[in-house]
Amino acid sequence: MEIDVFGIPGATVAGWANAQPEAMIAALGADAYDLVALEYGTNEGNAPFVAARYRELLERGVAQLRATFPDARCVLIGPPDRGVRGRKPRRDKLHYARIHARINAVQAEVAAARGCLHFDWQRSMGGPGSSYDYARAKPPLMSGDLIHLTRAGTRRAANEFARFLGW
């Protein structure tokens, strides 16, 4: 099995929505992959989240992905759960968790419409609010920023994703 990772920290699905399939095919090769996974949502949840705008970008991005890799299976990986740091947060503790649940719902709908799978990472963690349980776990599975997983949390997520794929 060969795994190739093409990632850009801080990226959003807008990158794929604006991709040029011809250039991507030239750079990556259209038949080079059996499975292509897009993992987005956390950064989209930072700005004021508008579900209709996100759906539009995601639909365009998945269309570009399918044009680039027409024969590859695809899976959309939703964002993990996310908490709010601080004793007196400006936002309630489930602010981002609720946004991530909405992002996962949009991804599930777009994935089904485009013939892709959808991995609901937040649900695999235990649902909205699970970032706090992950942060309190021994060893911690979520870093103190309540956004990023620790090494142990990443290992757990990878195992959940592998089970989802039937590996």
Strand partners, 75: 37, 117
Q: Any idea what DSSP says for residue 63?
A: H
For residue 110, the model assigns a pLDDT of 97
Per-residue model confidence (pLDDT) at position 60: 94
**pLDDT of res. 85:** 87
Q: Which of the 8 DSSP states describes residue 18?
A: T
- CA-to-CA distance for 90 and 92, rounded, in angstroms? 7
What is the pLDDT at residue 88? Answer: 55
Two tokens at 153?
A: 């949390």
Average pLDDT of adjacent 10-residue blocks, the chain of 167 residues = 65 84 81 85 89 95 91 94 79 92 97 96 97 97 96 97 94
Tokens of 26: 């030239």
* pLDDT the model gives residue 13: 86
pLDDT at 30: 66
Q: How far apart are CA 62 and CA 59, in angstroms?
A: 5
Of the candidates 61, 25, 21, the one whose C-alpha atom is nearest the C-alpha of residue 40 is 61
